[in-house]
Amino acid sequence: MLNRHPDKRSRLVDAAVRLVHEQGFARTTLADIAGAAGVPLGNVYYYFKTKEAIGEALVAHHAGHYATLRGQWNQSGDARSRLAAFVQMTADNRAVLARSGCPVGTLCAELHKAGGPLAEQTGAIFTELLGWLEEQFRALGRDTDAADLALHLLSALQGVSLIAHSLDDPEYVDRETARLTGWIQTL
Amino acid sequence: MLNRHPDKRSRLVDAAVRLVHEQGFARTTLADIAGAAGVPLGNVYYYFKTKEAIGEALVAHHAGHYATLRGQWNQSGDARSRLAAFVQMTADNRAVLARSGCPVGTLCAELHKAGGPLAEQTGAIFTELLGWLEEQFRALGRDTDAADLALHLLSALQGVSLIAHSLDDPEYVDRETARLTGWIQTL
DNA sequence: GTCTATATGTGGATAGAC
DNA sequence: GTCTATCCACATATAGAC
């Protein structure tokens, strides 16, 4: 990625990230993205050969975002506080989650029904997250069941995001994250 | 619902349920549904005024399906065994869940991004399920936190369905349902 | 009630001037 | 590199014969 077109290209990606989160990938048209980014429709194809190419940039954006967060969390605190920070991030996003769901979770669900290479790339974000969570649980001395605990935590957060989104009520996020935060303290 | 056209209409709904689960609602065309049901495209509009009307029938189908299951579970066993049966149903569906996700969860996610009245109708399935789960936990003597336990259980199951679907691996379902089954026994 | 043919709208993608 | 105009495929929906 030589990034020779920082302005327009990143504006297009930013617009795509926001619109796809709100409307879904299929429902978001190139005209929507171009309009939101202030770029004429035809010019989009100079930066992205196809709509799927925008999808790839989108997935890369989310993957990079979570990689950055993990890097920050790895800099400070112990494993328990890192897990708490992860849960707290979900709690802080209660309003957005109720309105549009988890950006990664909803994208995974949609792209996997469509099939194709994009689906696997999105799923990889979960794999990376599960790996990082497993490391934290292992650091807490849960060597034997670290992977299961990681799966349980991510499942609960993804599930409550889906439910809060489906019922359009951020209170579900509050209740489940409160429970998970307490659970982490008992480990 | 007078159900004066049992054959073709129910064939169309059955085909829609299957195809929408596999492909998503937006990606499933009326031609797909008509073809799978062995009905000419134009004739679909005699039974359903619009595509959204098919969506309503679809949601009603799922709502009815879960209502029937709850009715069966309510007939036998105690609350703990009912909760175990609910989790076991997810475990038994591991292969389908990994391939296409939870029919209700994926439908909720997709329809809620599209907006409109269908979104609320689908979400109501979750509300009904949460209510039933809450009753079971209350029957176990968890009066104060029954609603939170219900939310936790449904979140974990919906979340692991999403993860297993995103990573196309039924083993995630096995691991999380095993944990949840054990958890229920401790309550 | 059933089915064929088609109208209508939309969205991804391209041509080609500048 | 940029932008306008347009092509083309496809999906919902309708018209109208039978």
Q: Collect all residues of chain B within an 8 Å Cβ-Cβ radius of residue A175.
A: 147-148, 151
Domain with CATH 1.10.10.60 in chain B: 1-48
Closest amino acid to nucleotide C13 (CA–C1'): A50
List pLDDT tens digits, range B18-54. Answer: 999 999 999 999 999 999 999 999 999 999 999 999 9
| Cβ < 7 Å from nucleic strand D | A 4-5, 8, 39-43, 45-46; B 28-31, 41-42, 45, 49-52
Question: What confidence score (pLDDT) does residue A4 get?
Answer: 55
Owner of token pair 């807490």 = A140
| Closest nt by CA–C1' to B42 | C3
Q: CB under 8 Å to A111, separation ≥6 — which residues?
A: A25, A55, A118, A119, A122
Would the Cβ of A45 be found within 7 angstroms of any atom in strand C?
Answer: yes
Helical H segments across chain A, by residue range: 6-23, 30-37, 44-47, 51-75, 79-92, 94-100, 103-114, 117-139, 146-167, 171-186
Question: What confidence score (pLDDT) does residue A149 get?
Answer: 98
Question: What confidence score (pLDDT) does residue B45 get?
Answer: 98
Domain with CATH 1.10.10.60 in chain A: 1-49
Fold of B56-186: Tetracycline Repressor; domain 2 (1.10.357)
Closest amino acid to nucleotide D16 (CA–C1'): B42
CATH assignment, A1-49: 1.10.10.60
Domain with CATH 1.10.357.10 in chain A: 59-186
Whether B156 and A156 lie within 8 Å, measured CB to CB: yes
Question: What confidence score (pLDDT) does residue A80 get?
Answer: 98
Query: Domain B1-48 belongs to what architecture?
Result: Orthogonal Bundle (1.10)
| Closest nt by CA–C1' to B40 | C3
Q: Collect all residues of chain A within an 8 Å Cβ-Cβ radius of residue B113.
A: 22-24, 27, 100-101, 106
Domain with CATH 1.10.357.10 in chain B: 56-186
Owner of token pair 């999808």 = A55
List pLDDT tens digits, range B66-124. Answer: 999 999 999 989 999 999 999 999 999 999 999 999 999 999 999 999 999 999 999 99
Per-residue pLDDT in tens (0 to 9) along chain A, 187 residues: 445 566 899 999 999 999 999 999 999 999 999 999 999 999 999 999 999 999 999 999 999 999 999 999 999 899 999 999 999 999 999 999 999 999 999 999 999 999 999 999 999 999 999 999 999 999 999 999 999 999 999 999 999 999 999 999 999 999 999 999 999 999 9
Taking the CA of residue B5 and the nearest CA in chain A, the distance in Å comes to 31
- B89 shares contact with chain A (CB less than 8 Å): no
- B48 shares contact with chain A (CB less than 8 Å): no
Q: What residue in B sits closest to A180 (Cα-Cα)? A: B152
- A160 shares contact with chain B (CB less than 8 Å): yes
Closest amino acid to nucleotide D10 (CA–C1'): B29
- B176 shares contact with chain A (CB less than 8 Å): yes
Instruction: Give, as one character, the DSSP assignment of residue B42.
Output: G
Domain A59-186 CATH superfamily: Tetracycline Repressor, domain 2 (1.10.357.10)
Instruction: Give how far the C-alpha of residue B180 lies from the chain's centroid of Cα atoms, to the nearest Å.
Output: 19
Taking the CA of residue B41 and the nearest CA in chain A, the distance in Å comes to 23
Whether A163 and B154 lie within 8 Å, measured CB to CB: yes
Q: CB under 8 Å to A67, separation ≥6 — which residues?
A: A128
Question: What confidence score (pLDDT) does residue B5 get?
Answer: 63
Question: What confidence score (pLDDT) does residue A3 get?
Answer: 55
Interface with chain B: mutation pick from A112, A122, A144, A161, highest number of B CBs within 10 Å: A112
Neighbours of A172 (CB within 10 A): 26
Name which of A23, A167, A176 is nearest B113 (Cβ-Cβ): A23
List pLDDT tens digits, range B159-178. Answer: 999 999 999 999 999 999 99
Q: CB under 8 Å to B27, separation ≥6 — which residues?
A: A26, A113, A114
